[in-house]
Structure 1
Amino acid sequence: MVHVGKSYPIHDALGKATGRTVYAGDMELKGMLHMAVLFSKIPHGFVKKLDYSKAMELPGVVDVLYYGNTCQKEYNRYHSQYRQDLIHTERIFNQHVRFVGDRIAAVVATTEEIARKAVSLIEVEYEEYSFALDAHETLEGKIDNMDEHGSVFGSIANEVGTRPENDGTFVEVDTTTHIDRINHMAMETHAAVAEFDSQGELTIYSPNQTVYGIRSFIADLFDMDYNKVRVVKTTMGGSFGGKQEWVLEPLVAAAALRVKRPVKLVYNREESIRSTYCRAPMYFKNKFTFTPDGKLQDVDCDLLLDAGAYLGNSINYARTLGSKFFRTYRYPHETFHAQVALTNTIVSGAFRGWSSPEFNINFEHGMNMAARKLGIDPIELRLKNVIHEGDIELSTGLNLGDFKGRQVLELGREKFDWENRKKEIAEFNAQNKRYKRGMGVSLGGHVNGFYPAKPDYTRVDMCVTESGTVRCGVTLHDHGCGTVTAFKMIAAEELGIEVDQVRIQEGDTAVTPQDFVGCFSSRTTYVMGRATQECAKLLKERIKEHFAVERGCDVADVVLDGMTVYSTKEPDVVYTWSDLVYASQQRYQHEIFASYEYVSKDNPGVCGGHFAYVEVDTYTGMVKILDYLAVQDIGQAINREICIAQTQGASVMGAGAALTEHVHYRPNGVPFANLKDYHLLNSFEAPSVRVELIENHNTEGPFGAKTIGEVCHVPASAAVVGAVNDALQSDLNDLPLTPDKITAYLKNREER
């Protein structure tokens, strides 16, 4: 291939490097106003009195919005599709406040500085209620007046397969897992702009993952015609799931509709941590059952998920986690039960991998504890149970296709020098009292779209311009990782032209084709990329047909060569694509275009195997990652260096979740919402991640590609945790494994 598999810079690299790229927070529209939000300072209560008179007296203040003068229709921030069946519990502004950071009111002013100063002048009187900062407290009845739907949702359960009869030799392994809330920490904080024009059209500009989802959400919320709502996806400075639920968009929409001028709202870092959403805290209890030789027979998993103050996506998230049991290993039976509990904390929501990393942290810990109990090498135990190529996923009946789990494990074992390192680690640990070393492995699987859970289709349009280049219409949502470039490469590869001869813009409901599903479930490359390839194939046929009409020849004799076309019957008569467009327009009144609708009808297995080598200081509890290897089953890398960079970033993100990252709370319900207390891995702490890609080109994805953006994050945390437990011969799985937790564990073990 000419382009696919090579490495190209992302489409806006120059603009970002020179500071010319415009993000939502940079936008300036004629007559633009600025917005700042008043947040609740208590974890649970009722606003008895709100006095904003002093704010209105401040020069430059245009209006104050609050629960008394704005739409009070309840909604669900997870609304991403037309007529989506969700429980609605949230409002734009809330009088019954449910967490520190809940929205009470907002000021619209001529500058952001004035708006923020005016917010500080608003006086609030609360009636305070009891509150719960942990899902277990909710189960115990500490709060009973959070929502009319109740505070606990517990109907999520499934059982798959047939439980094998225990012959008395089965080995049971009981484990528990707790993962804390973590923030997405994208470089770009949350921002949105809204404009309501003289024709009654509301335009929303935001970095988001589904422009059509926002359109349906905003139109439904404000009872507007869908044709009167336009949503434009702006340049995004990272999402990781943090910009696929709607927090700022309804606020700026309400303000623009009220003041009839453009309004911009930009959250600072503290507001983005405290008042948007985080990955949910989760508590797992499990029983894994194995034969003595290591064949997994049964998994029984119970989950308690902390939804935070509003339900959002939490029921769907727990249900989705329960569907992930058969994406990596094959065994005959599992049972899953989940409860979702509201608490007076930051709202829980989507995070990169959409429950697969959390599932993996829990499941792979069980595999590690079983390997220890059975006396089997952790890689060998996984090889005994890993899905084979062509296996059927027990829960869905899907053929998992060319799944490369075995090859991932075997290549990783070789490249990580697993067997030799085991000996080196044993010698090192025998000679050192303070420092202990260990290795961990994690195999994590994911999906390539929504099929068969729900419909997954998209449309792509292409046309040849007067200059002979190609304009491609596809509703993309680039997170800053190079999606636009990857799609230009797919189109250019199929068309046989250069990458810079293809133009693609991101999602805009007024311009780009309908794609109601959005950038979710790792479907972009696999589903939309294939649609783009198929549309390019169709466009080539259209070019041939137009040339055949122009020259009066048989279509079968027409040849495309780069951006030229000719017939084998008269090879000396060569048209450029620009020549052909001119002829088609002037003589036949036709545009050279193609439109293709693609329906996804499969979802093969895809996985990554990550290997971590760590050193633990038993005196301080500090963990150093000495080496890290990620092996990814990718089918075909489209833009190679971008795939490698995605994997490296995901590995560091997972390591941070394993060791340092969490949003913790004071007893009074106030979170620590700053980068002083929220510890990201710094550059000197981050491991140097080696990446190996396994490519076999045997899928329905474009040129055989599978997903990479989420699946490369799935195994990361579990690999690091496994390495720490190997070093300490511990069973820790209360994430993050902070120095305090490690030293407390070692102290308690020593005292026992």
Structure 2
Amino acid sequence: MRFRVDGTEVDVEPRPGQCARTLLREQGRTEVKKGCDAGDCGACAVLLDGTPVHSCILPAARLDGREITTAAGLAPGDELHPVQEAIASGFGFQCGFCTAGMTVTASALTVDDLPDLDRRMKGSLCRCTGYRPIREAIRAATLGPVRETGARADAGAVGGIGTSVAAPAARRIVQGREPFTFDEPVPGALVLRVLGSPHAHARILSIDVAAARAVPGVVAVLTHHDVPATRFSTARHEHRTDDPDDTRILDDTVRFVGQRVAAVVAETAEAADAACRAIGVDYEVLPAVFDADAARRPGAPVLHPELTTDDRVAEASRNVIAELHEGVGGDIDEALAASAVTVHGTWQTSRVSHAQLETHGAVGWLDDDGRIVIRSSTQVPFLVRDEVARLLDRDPATVRVHVARVGGGFGGKQELFSEDLVALAVLRTGRPVAFDFSRVEEFTRTSVRHPMRVAVTLGATDEGRLTAIKLDVLSDTGAYGNHAIGVLMHGCAESTIIYRSPVRRLDAEVVYTNTVPSGAFRGYGLGQVMLGIESAMDLLAQRLDLDPFEVRRLNAVREGDPLHPDPEEEYEEDLVWGSYGLDQCLDLAEEALRRGNDAVPPDGWLVGEGMAMGMLATLAPGGHVSHATATLRADGGYVVHVGTAEFGNGATTVHRQIAATALEADFASIDLRHADTDLVAHDTGAFASTGITVAGKAVHAACLALRERMLEIAASVTGSDAAAGRLAPGGVDVGGRLVGFAEIVAAAGEDERTAEGLTAAGAEFGERRSLAFNVHAVRVAVDPETGSVRLLQSVQAADAGTVMNPAQCRGQIEGGVAQGVGSALYEEVLIDERGAVVNPVFRQYRVPQFADIPDTEVYFAETADDLGPYGAKSMSEAPYNPVAPAIGNAIARALGARPHHQPFTRERVWRLANGHPDPH
């Protein structure tokens, strides 16, 4: 079979049943990505004789005689197609995994398509951006030469702090040439596949792998007999004891449908799949429990009866991992009884998938020194290295984990889901092994957001001043406790201490159920608890006929207030007032909402406005560590090494900006290398929005140390005082004499020179945490006849401290809002009566599309934080949290009836509008 790809003739015979995507990638066309393999996401889009198609559902045999164009071939040579140029310069990507396919589809649009742009692009999903910059870029490029978009990269040589400098990888991203985990093939890599459990709870009595091993091409089959008995948690934190040790690599007891039972390693995917089907397993099916409340009642099936408090499980006999029962200020019931007004409600949140376009996966091999090398799609390479070494009883120095660009994380890749099996398989076979999750596995075998039941009772004076807050939270961690403790504690913390109240009571538990595990998800529990708190605050405002903004102003925590009112409680003792911008955020959001916009509701639809506010600590509790080095090369360029991964958070851009500012250098002169355990000392990882507040400070410290050493060396060369020198183009100016960079490197001591040049190190041990604030406001239209909800206006005001890169930070907020809209209105991982996920593909799980997300107005408070580098605060997680409660409050005001079950789907809203109870 012959066809042409980007002008090159290809002569290849496809395998029976092969799709075009896998065939093209086998020909080295890795710009064609795998997002779903079901034709739903568009990451694999190519032009087939000029028409966009999803190559994952195109039979490879149909390529015969055709012309294929990938993202890399849309323009000749190194040039960019106009739509690629517009997306690259207009901040139209974050992680970038969807971008190559996105540009291919958009390249075929004409001016006539623009009025129907959202429908034309509905088959292209982006989980990161919120679509606004992509939409603007497509319009600009289609209308003619690339024009200014809403957020365009700043021109100028330096590109330091405060400028909207584009990501250095932008050109490669839009062409699909920036490598992700599986885009750099490892020759001879075997394929790993997993057999999953058909039962929610069962004991494996026997397992027969003889037939599987006999399948041609099978190299190894691993079962629970072949793995260490060591228990661990898939969750990764700086302190591994933050999470319960309740998991084995392969277990003889399975606790959710889809849990891995055995692993097959084979020469081909086909052989591995056939061998999985050939494995015979004899199960003793055990009673299962799927409801969180039922799981803690007497007589419920116990998932982990062997665990004790030494394993960080509070009460295994009740399936309770952790519990909080505490109060301050007096008796809560007495305080509520004495309150002039009380309101109460119970809200339920759903399981939500991270839905990163790049699924989990890893590829591993042995290097020439016999070390295990793993390239993984992870947010935490150092933590993965350390736990893999622990599980295999190896010195961490014999394990290297490194990361290419990560195609989205949102907390879901702060886990150990693939690397343990890959490392074992590499050791067993002595050959490279690749384990690439399917989209179905992503839904059924990784983790979801913790579903929670949140009951809130508020007491207040007639003026609306809070007198009491009573909170009861039940969190469902699923079959394993990864992140269960941290999510519960964090979710109940900032969501409540944002309000001043003399009396508080908290009762909270997190329990096991026989369902897909829950884990870290953007906001880390705050979004769930905030739905209850912010909905109850809106209910209070309605009861007292007060403006919802004014109720928040009356009760919001103020700068200088104690942040841990109970001296006995140590959880939040490291919170400090680095800066305060909540008051500005309330003003900015309210002013924008009052101004309104031009959106007009359809006839017969009801309109309501809603708002909610949130507070988020700028890093995880318990400490976060990052190390960095900065090197001056003899040619005047700089190399910065830092451990943090890039997964759309923009850390690699901001780190270069920090270095450029500290070194007074051109942005283009900074070469940044990251996310490799061989590069620097320990780095906790890219989560809890620490890319700026911890890793950024480590980069800053390294650059300042390098700058100081450059001045000292130049002074010694000239015999002058170091204070007399200053950085200048080409070197250091000391009293009018320019000491060149090459001269400085040559004069450096042997112990401070690396192979690349003069090197200085920096570190940050993040222990004190400041606070960031976000206020979200919306105007919605609701159709009572269908239950449809349409966002007419979306506003978010954010306190991000010094905004390092305005366009990039705006994009983080827009992306968080879009994800919040999804969890508010559409997204729900559904579990059937067997405990199985019933909608494990994008066609059934509704990720927001172009038409679902309106442009969000973004406003920044003017603050500067004492803790962050150059006064910056984190702004990756926080935007997500207040979105769903704001939308819920707007629906309540439109209908005169309040929704209590998120997502607020069309069915639920229709039932609410028409007085029917929600069966769920």
TM-score, normalization by structure 1: 0.93
Is 1:499 the equivalent of 2:654? no
- Equivalent residue number for residue 13 of structure 1: 170
Is the contact between residue 76 and residue 90 of structure 1 (CA under 8 Å) also seen in structure 2? yes
- Equivalent residue number for residue 382 of structure 1: 552
CA distance in 2, matches of 1:589, 1:284: 57
Distance 1:5 1:118, change over 3 A: same
5 Å-filtered alignment, 1:299-698, equals 299-395=469-565, 396=572, 398-417=575-594, 434-450=604-620, 453-515=621-683, 517-568=684-735, 571=736, 573-584=737-748, 592-600=758-766, 602-672=768-838, 673-698=840-865
- Name the SS of the counterpart of 2:577 in structure 1: coil
CA distance in 1, matches of 2:350, 2:905: 12
User: 2:446 is matched with which residue: 276, 283, 286?
Assistant: 276
Q: Post-superposition shift, 1:372?
A: 0.7
Is 1:105 the equivalent of 2:262? yes
Which 10-residue stretch deviates more, 465-474 or 180-189? 465-474
What's the CA shift string for 1:680-707, capped at 9, x where partnerless? 1221111211111223224321111111
- Equivalent residue number for residue 64 of structure 1: 221
- Name the SS of the counterpart of 1:125 in structure 2: strand
Q: Post-superposition shift, 1:92?
A: 1.2
What's the CA shift string for 1:572-620, capped at 9, x where partnerless? x223323322344799989633222334453222111111111111111
CA distance in 1, matches of 2:528, 2:503: 20
Distance 1:728 1:198, change over 3 A: same
CA distance in 1, matches of 2:871, 2:831: 46
CA distance in 1, matches of 2:254, 2:244: 18
Q: Post-superposition shift, 1:158?
A: 2.8
CA distance in 2, matches of 1:355, 1:124: 37
CA distance in 1, matches of 2:219, 2:239: 34
Is the contact between residue 327 and residue 446 of structure 1 (CA under 8 Å) also seen in structure 2? no
CA distance in 2, matches of 1:528, 1:405: 25
Which 10-residue stretch deviates more, 589-598 or 232-241? 589-598
Code of the aligned partner of 1:272: E
- Name the SS of the counterpart of 1:74 in structure 2: coil
CA distance in 1, matches of 2:803, 2:580: 16
Q: Post-superposition shift, 1:236?
A: 0.2
User: 1:156 is matched with which residue: 324, 343, 359?
Assistant: 324
CA distance in 1, matches of 2:300, 2:283: 17
Q: Post-superposition shift, 1:279?
A: 0.5
Code of the aligned partner of 1:20: R
CA distance in 2, matches of 1:704, 1:563: 29
- Name the SS of the counterpart of 1:227 in structure 2: helix
Is the contact between residue 10 and residue 481 of structure 1 (CA under 8 Å) also seen in structure 2? no
Which 10-residue stretch deviates more, 152-161 or 278-287? 152-161
- Name the SS of the counterpart of 1:393 in structure 2: coil
Q: Post-superposition shift, 1:18?
A: 1.5
- Name the SS of the counterpart of 1:454 in structure 2: coil
Distance 1:741 1:485, change over 3 A: same
Code of the aligned partner of 2:290: L
Distance 1:169 1:28, change over 3 A: closer
Q: Taking CA–CA contacts closer than 8 Å with sequence separation of 6 or more, which of the two structures ends up with the larger relative contact order?
A: 1
User: 1:91 is matched with which residue: 245, 248, 253?
Assistant: 248
5+ long unaligned stretches in structure 2: 1-157, 308-315, 566-571
CA distance in 2, matches of 1:315, 1:584: 49
Q: Post-superposition shift, 1:87?
A: 2.4
Is 1:179 the equivalent of 2:345? no
Which 10-residue stretch deviates more, 317-326 or 479-488? 317-326
Is the contact between residue 346 and residue 455 of structure 2 (CA under 8 Å) also seen in structure 1? yes
Which 10-residue stretch deviates more, 484-493 or 551-560? 551-560
- Name the SS of the counterpart of 2:804 in structure 1: coil
Is the contact between residue 461 and residue 472 of structure 1 (CA under 8 Å) also seen in structure 2? yes
CA distance in 2, matches of 1:168, 1:94: 54
What's the CA shift string for 1:141-160, capped at 9, x where partnerless? 56424212322335323324
- Name the SS of the counterpart of 1:28 in structure 2: coil
Code of the aligned partner of 1:19: G
Q: Is the strand fraction higher in 1 or 2?
A: 1
- Equivalent residue number for residue 47 of structure 1: 204
What's the CA shift string for 1:496-525, capped at 9, x where partnerless? 00112112212211112222x322322220
CA distance in 2, matches of 1:324, 1:750: 32
User: 2:395 is matched with which residue: 225, 230, 244?
Assistant: 225
Code of the aligned partner of 2:850: S
What's the CA shift string for 1:7-45, capped at 9, x where partnerless? 122232222222222222234223311101100112111
CA distance in 1, matches of 2:777, 2:873: 21
What's the CA shift string for 1:92-112, capped at 9, x where partnerless? 112211111100001101122
CA distance in 2, matches of 1:183, 1:750: 26
- Equivalent residue number for residue 746 of structure 1: 913
Is the contact between residue 779 and residue 890 of structure 2 (CA under 8 Å) also seen in structure 1? yes
Code of the aligned partner of 1:48: L
CA distance in 2, matches of 1:415, 1:96: 55
Distance 1:154 1:579, change over 3 A: closer
Is the contact between residue 159 and residue 165 of structure 2 (CA under 8 Å) also seen in structure 1? no
Code of the aligned partner of 1:115: A
CA distance in 2, matches of 1:107, 1:43: 22
Distance 1:365 1:562, change over 3 A: farther
CA distance in 2, matches of 1:601, 1:304: 29
CA distance in 2, matches of 1:506, 1:163: 52
User: 1:261 is matched with which residue: 431, 451, 463?
Assistant: 431
Which 10-residue stretch deviates more, 21-30 or 742-751? 742-751
Q: Post-superposition shift, 1:465?
A: 1.1
Is the contact between residue 496 and residue 562 of structure 1 (CA under 8 Å) also seen in structure 2? no
CA distance in 1, matches of 2:824, 2:453: 15
- Name the SS of the counterpart of 2:225 in structure 1: coil
CA distance in 1, matches of 2:666, 2:234: 41
CA distance in 1, matches of 2:300, 2:529: 28
TM-score, normalization by structure 2: 0.77
What's the CA shift string for 1:719-738, capped at 9, x where partnerless? 11111111112221210111
Is the contact between residue 445 and residue 607 of structure 1 (CA under 8 Å) also seen in structure 2? yes
- Name the SS of the counterpart of 1:417 in structure 2: helix
Using the aligned pairs only, state the percent identity. Answer: 28
Q: Post-superposition shift, 1:84?
A: 2.3
Code of the aligned partner of 1:742: V
Aligned residues: 738
- Equivalent residue number for residue 74 of structure 1: 231
CA distance in 1, matches of 2:495, 2:399: 40
5+ long unaligned stretches in structure 1: none
